[in-house]
């Protein structure tokens, strides 16, 4: 018996057998469960807009700053 999984792309939701999983991921589908939670991200076929890229890029810069502040040792003031 084949195990089925759900794949989600920008516009469609498809059910595929586990045997087709590689093709599904390569086409830009992420593997999701019945609750819509992503189990495995797509490996190809995905494009992002400049706005999406910029949002993630700015978030990454902020997180790097926050991490650098945490790594900086605090000097005792006595």
- Domain spans, the chain: 4-71
The 10s digit of each residue's pLDDT in 8-25 is 555 555 666 766 778 878
Cβ atoms < 10 Å from Cβ of 9: 15
The 10s digit of each residue's pLDDT in 21-44 is 788 788 877 777 777 788 888 877
Identify any residues that bridge with 30 across adjacent strands, giving them in sequence order: 8
Q: How confident is the model at residue 2 (pLDDT cuts 50, 70, 90)?
A: very low
Q: Is 76 exposed, middle or buried (0-12, 13-18, 19+ CB in 10 A)?
A: exposed
């Amino acid at each position: 018996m084949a195990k089925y999984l759900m794949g989600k792309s920008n516009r469609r939701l498809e059910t595929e057998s586990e045997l087709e999983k590689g093709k599904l991921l390569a086409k830009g589908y992420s593997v999701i469960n019945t609750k819509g939670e992503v189990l495995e991200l797509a490996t190809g076929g995905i494009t992002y807009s400049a706005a999406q890229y910029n949002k993630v890029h700015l978030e990454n810069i902020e997180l790097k700053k926050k991490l650098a502040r945490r790594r900086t040792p605090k000097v005792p003031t006595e």
